[in-house]
Structure 1
Amino acid sequence: MMTIWGRLTSINVAKAVWAARELGLQFERIDVGGPYGGLDTPEYGALNPNRRIPTLDDDGYILWESNSIVRYLAARYGAAGTLWPADPRARGLSDRWLDWQATSFGPAMGPAFVGLVRTPEAQRNPQAIASSVEQVGRLLLLLEGVFADGRTFIAGESFTMGDIAVGCAVDRWFLLPVERPETPALAAWHQRVASRPAAQGILGQPLQ
């Protein structure tokens, strides 16, 4: 039995759920975190001492950190050449985007997301939000350059785990009420991944 703990409005939970759906896995998802609470219970702390989401329970195998969960699911359950490319070099091209999302895009996006979504207007830091928007704008142009060569997905012509991590992050950013640079190639890729059956009900979630 597989269980994914976490609310679907979390970008990190969305990554894990999307990966599981792409692989055709049967799983139960339990709402915790945000308005659902539950992260401070002894039971959840025993699963994940960080008390964050998501947490995966795969028949007793416990794993947390969203990109680690995506990698694990892709490696364990993905057929060769699907989410987890069989060739190490092809896999590296996909895998780097999970790290890029966690170390570059995510931190750049954080101040604007928290400021605009989770902070009352009177308490917002306009300078921090503006700096965040500027930083993400540069990263969007980087992504635009990646797709400007006509590639279909982020690591080439096949949909892989890299598309999931970056797809969830870009989707959230596109929902924020901020000015963005023109990125038609990136927008076309976003539309391609958002139209996948496994992405339905995951992308486009209300911002929380």
Structure 2
Amino acid sequence: MLKILGKSSSINVRKVLWTCAEIGIPYQLEQWGSGAQATDTAYFLGLNPNGMVPVIQDEGATLWESNTICRYLASKHQRTDLLPTKPIDRAQVEKWMDWQATELNNSWRYAFMALVRLSPTHADPVALSAGIAQWTHHMRLLDAQLASTAAYVNGAEFTLADIVLGLSVHRWMAAPLEHPVLPAVQAYYELLSQREAYLLHGRNGLA
């Protein structure tokens, strides 16, 4: 059985849990991370030298990086609706997955740590203002894309890109900041909320 190592409240672990729920993959979840088993031990660092969750073990192999894990699971279970096989169609999905990981995630880090985690090392008001502005800028980019599709991020069909972005949209919605009106993002949030797996692992009260 697939084993997932990671704290169930982690946004990146929840990507994997949501993917499993969409596909119908049974799994064993072990709680690792802050407040659970430590990830700086020799054992865990042997699985992922970055000391980060999630990590999966499947068929004798170990994988880390949440978006990579989601791609692997969709490919293994031949869910071409979630991750197409045609190179250009797959690249269109992966483009938004990579944008989520490299651009959108980086834009919210300071603001999230200051406003949600209440980190004392993220208390600079100038840096916070800049962080909120960057986060808002990227959410406006997403809003424009969703306005163009009037459905999911890559078009009419739900894909892996919506899993990783859906978690980020919930984080935006849950953050205690002044939100500009982004009608396409709001419509997308409600569209995703029609999926039981999103209510379990995305819009579930956790930021």
Give the TM-score taking structure 2 as reference length. 0.92
In structure 1, the partner of 2:107 is 108
Structure 2 gaps, min length 5: none
Mapped contact 1:141–1:181 kept (Cα < 8 A): no
The equivalent residue for 2:62 is: 62
Equivalent in the alignment of 2:21: 21
1:154 aligns with 2:153: yes
Q: Partner letter of residue 93 of structure 1?
A: Q
Cα distance, 1:206 vs. partner? 4.8
Q: Which residue of 1 aligns with 2:131?
A: 132
Equivalent residue number for residue 189 of structure 1:
188
> Contact (CA 8 Å) 2:47, 2:62: kept in 1 or not?
yes
Shift of 1:69: 0.7
Residues 193, 123 of structure 1: alpha-carbon distance in 2 compared, 3 angstrom cutoff = closer
CA shift, 1:20, in A, is: 1.4
Q: Take 2:199 and 2:36, find their aligned partners in 1: how far apart are those partners?
A: 22
Change (3 A) 1:137 1:60: same
Instruction: Give the C-alpha shift of residue 139 in structure 1.
Output: 1.2
Once the two structures are superposed, the pairs formed by residues 1-208 of structure 1 within 5 Å of their partners are 1-80=1-80, 82-120=81-119, 124-207=123-206
Q: How many angstroms does 1:156 deviate by?
A: 0.9
Separation (CA, whole Å) in 1 of partners of 2:171 and 2:177: 12
The change in CA–CA distance for 1:103 and 1:122 in structure 2 (over 3 A counts) is closer
Q: What RMSD in Å do the two structures reach over aligned CA positions?
A: 1.8
Q: Matched residues, percent identical?
A: 34
Post-superposition Cα deviations, 1:13-41, rounded to whole Å, max 9, x if no partner, equal 11111111111101011111122142122
- Structure 1: runs of 5 or more not aligned: none
CA-CA distance at 1:149 after TM superposition:
2.5
State the SS of the aligned residue for 1:40.
coil
Aligned counterparts of 1:197 and 1:118: Cα–Cα separation in 2: 27
**Could you tell me the TM-score, scaled by structure 1's length?**
0.92
